[in-house]
Structure 1
Amino acid sequence: MIFKASNRNDAALFPREVQIDQGATVRLLPHANVSRRQSKPVEKSYWLAVASAEHVRIGREHGFMQVNHGKRAPLKRIKPGDGIVYYSPSVKMGDRDAFQSFTAIGYVREGEPYLAEMGCGKAYRKDVDWLDAPEQPLRPLLGWLDFTQDKNWGYKLIFGLVEFGQSDFEFLEEILMSELEEVKRRRLQA
């Protein structure tokens, strides 16, 4: 930082009692206790979680998420403010009904994963602010989502939680909050 000296006695700028000639260039050095490293803003991540629609609906109703049958490790990767989308291949766990829909979208709240009681045991959860959005079938979106461009896109979903692209998240958020055909028309015009 460079300042031009003036005839003002500015103790905040020049803490030492040194005579400085008017008009001289003065270079101010940072204080020794000041870190030179700029802290990076925390970047948001976006996640695609997989669970039956029945389980997702319970989570939406009570404001939480859980993945991989309640395991803690996957939830540790998710930070407050991250976006989360749930994809449900079936309505009930284990069924092969080809439901294949996005069933929830929201943002993760502050807090660490916590242990909660379920009917069949205990599971780790994280709190989420779910958006009031309807369920959306996947099929009409196949050509519009980046993550479905690979012909084996479904293989990644067996892990239960995968990182998701910001553009796909924003597209789904827009679709779930308005009409699909209207969103497609706007996107084609852009």
Structure 2
Amino acid sequence: MTFKASDRTDAALFPREDIIRQGAAVRLFPHANTSSRRPEPEQRSYWLAVASAEHVRIGRQHGFMQVNHGKRAPLKRIRPGDGIVYYSPSIKMGEKDGFQSFTAIGFVREGEPYLAEMGCGKAYRKDVDWLDAPEQPLRPLLGWLDFTQDKNWGYKLRFGLVEFGQSDFEFLEEILMSELEVVKQRRLRA
């Protein structure tokens, strides 16, 4: 709210009225014309990455993630604090063994993607704080996850990294940190 100095002569409002130009706009409070709102914190995103269980286990052991055979571009989309879940269609890369399980869940650490040595060359990685969670088969969760409601849900996974819903992430975090049947019963009651 602003007043013109000539609008009021109340000494309590304008104790230094003698040095205020007549007709000048005066702020009653220093922040009256500025936003008092703090900037909104950045939204956290959630990601579903796809890799063989063998590769995910190595990443969990050493505290990193890697997607799309070590490409940098997909990792640049992921920000610190984002949630990451790994889905492994197989135990070893290229095999069709029907493993189909969630193999890791965690949160991305600060830092940019970095180049690391691998046995077959170099790959970009990001550091992750992995939760101590067991692997969980996908099949018992099919009706419970939003991303599996679409008939062709598996088709999206061919990209190796897809954005994932917060509710699915939180459900998987709950499942991986406790017993599946306990979580299902709790969700049914809610």
Does the alignment reach a TM-score above 0.5?
yes
| Cα distance in 2 for residues equivalent to 1:75 and 1:128 | 12
- 1:20-169 mapped onto 2 (5 Å cutoff): 27-28=28-29, 30=31, 39-169=39-169
8 Å Cα contact 2:50/2:86 also seen in 1:
yes
Quickly say closer, same or farther: Cα 1:6–1:102, change in 2 above 3 A. Answer: farther
SS in 2 for 1:78: coil
Moved more, 39-48 or 169-178: 39-48
| Cα distance in 1 for residues equivalent to 2:35 and 2:182 | 50
Aligned-pair CA distance for 1:135: 0.0
Quickly say closer, same or farther: Cα 1:189–1:118, change in 2 above 3 A. Answer: same
| Cα distance in 1 for residues equivalent to 2:14 and 2:71 | 63
Q: Output one character per residue of 1:111-164: Cα deviation in whole Å (capped at 9) or x when no partner.
A: 000000000000000000000000000000000000000010000000000000
| Cα distance in 2 for residues equivalent to 1:119 and 1:7 | 77
Q: Output one character per residue of 1:15-41: Cα deviation in whole Å (capped at 9) or x when no partner.
A: x955xxxxxx96336499x67885331
TM-score, normalised via structure 2 length: 0.85
Q: Which runs of 4+ in 1 moved over 3 A?
A: 5-10, 25-32, 34-38
Cα-Cα RMSD = 3.1
- Unaligned runs of 5+ residues in structure 2 are 3-9, 21-25
Q: Output one character per residue of 1:31-72: Cα deviation in whole Å (capped at 9) or x when no partner.
A: 99x678853310000000000000000000000000000000
TM-score, normalised via structure 1 length: 0.85
8 Å Cα contact 2:13/2:28 also seen in 1:
no
SS in 1 for 2:40: coil
8 Å Cα contact 2:51/2:160 also seen in 1:
yes
- Specify the code of the residue in structure 1 equivalent to 2:74: P
| Cα distance in 2 for residues equivalent to 1:82 and 1:174 | 17
| Cα distance in 2 for residues equivalent to 1:180 and 1:30 | 52
- Specify the code of the residue in structure 1 equivalent to 2:150: D
Number of matched pairs: 182
Q: Which residue of 2 aligns with 1:177?
A: 177
Identity among equivalent positions (%) equals 79
